[in-house]
Amino acid sequence: MVAIDAKKRADGSGFNIFKHGGRLDCGIDAVEWAIKCEKLGAGEILLTSMDQDGTKAGFDLELTKAISSSVNIPVIASGGAGEKKHFLEALTVGGAEAALAASLFHYKELEINDLKAYLRENNVPVRL
**Secondary structure string (H, E, C) spanning 7-34:** EECCCCCCEEEEECCCCEEEEEEHHHHH
pLDDT at 93: 98
* Bridging pattern class, strands 24-29 and 45-49: unpaired
Residue 6 pLDDT > 90: yes
Question: Is it the case that residue 22 has pLDDT exceeding 90?
Answer: no
Q: What is the mean pLDDT of residues 19-32?
A: 95
Across 30-59, average pLDDT: 98
**Amino acid symbol at 98:** A
Helix (H) or strand (E) holding 117: helix 112-121
User: Which one is the CATH code of 28-121: 3.60.70.12, 3.40.50.2300, 3.90.1150.10, 3.40.50.12600?
Assistant: 3.40.50.12600
- List Cβ neighbours of 92 (8 Å cut-off, separation of 6 or more): 124
Which pTM was predicted? Answer: 0.95
Rounded to an integer, the average pLDDT of 73-97 is 98
